Amino acid sequence: MKKLKRSARLVELTQYLTSRPHTLIPLTTFADRYGAAKSSISEDLTIIKEVFEEEGVGELLTLAGAAGGVKYIPRLSREKAFSFMSDLCNQLEQPERLLPGDYIYMSDLLGQPSILNEVGKIFASVFADTPIDVIMTVETKGIPLAHATGTQLNLPVVLVRRDHQMTEGSAVSINYVSGSHKSLHTMTLSRRALKEKSRVLIIDDFMKAGGTIQGMVDLLGEFNATVAGVGVLLESGAVDTEDRLWADYVSLATLTEVDAKSKKIMVKPGNYFENEK
């Protein structure tokens, strides 16, 4: 046990809490760790709480009682999220991103740690109060987004594969229709990857008609698991409502127009911001 001064305790506490989001830490942990009275630790936490709230970094939740403690909940205000996403939309509108078949190149953005970290925080803010056991995505481009969200929510990520892999053990496969081409595909999940009755948050990078999402939902059915929520970074706005295979989702950006001839891409913030100005 080491005795620390308040200034050193504040540094350590901040570092300890921010590296363990959504984790309940009993006050005794800190009291023991720093050789300080619980009342001193409480005062420290009040200072941290105020700074976090002022900065819009997140919330410090204090739970009283025997099973109590403190929990850091990353929360990005909708205002900050909107400002970040508006900027990302501008980047997505760069004409050189347009690929044959009206695809948009965004792998560079999905490779940037600062962008992933921020999108992870936004998804974690959206679903902060939803009971979730695990995050699910399907390979490949959604993987870093799912993990960035898992980091902020302190939740494991389960990965659906396109083919059955020898490294996954026995697996459950389903077929699904990809809405955009009406073509048939297979997706596969290792039997041991998901516990029965898990509440699952589905995260993906792009959604058109939602066939891939519907496929993951069907797969969840095979595990007696349920959908706790669906979050997509970018949705295609060019889908008629009756063609939507999955309708209940949160999108952070919407692709409203793609014109190959004039190389024009238009992206606006997604349905998460719909009630905003």
Query: 3-state DSSP call for residue 129?
Result: coil
Query: What are the residues facing 104 on neighbouring strands?
Result: 98
CB of 50 to its own copies, least distance (A): 7
CB of 16 to its own copies, least distance (A): 9
Largest separation between any pair of C-alpha atoms in the chain:
69
> In this structure, how many other beta carbons lie within 10 angstroms of the beta carbon of residue 234?
22
CB of 51 to its own copies, least distance (A): 4
CB of 126 to its own copies, least distance (A): 18
CB of 241 to its own copies, least distance (A): 25
Helix (H) or strand (E) holding 63: strand 58-63
**Peptide bond preceding 140 in cis form (omega within 30 of 0):** yes
Pick the closest to residue 213 from 236, 186, 232, 190 (CA basis). 232
Which one of residues 139, 222, 243, 276 is an interface residue with its own copies (CB under 8 A)?
139
Does 50 bind its own copies (CB under 8 A)? Our answer is yes
209: tokens are 């008609």
Which one of residues 88, 126, 193, 219 is an interface residue with its own copies (CB under 8 A)?
193
What whole-number distance in Å separates Cα of residue 74 and Cα of residue 196?
28
Q: For residues 146-165, which are near its own copies according to CB under 8 A?
A: 147-148, 150-151, 154-159, 161
Does 51 bind its own copies (CB under 8 A)? Our answer is yes
CB of 27 to its own copies, least distance (A): 18
CB burial string 193-221: b at 16+ within 10 A, e below: bbeeebebbbbbbbbbbbbbbbbbbebbe
Does 6 bind its own copies (CB under 8 A)? Our answer is yes
For its own copies, the closer CB: 78 or 141: 141
Return residues touching its own copies (CB under 8 A): 6-8, 10-12, 14-15, 18-19, 47-48, 50-52, 55, 57, 99-101, 103-108, 111-114, 116-117, 139-141, 143-144, 147-148, 150-151, 154-159, 161, 166-169, 190, 192-193
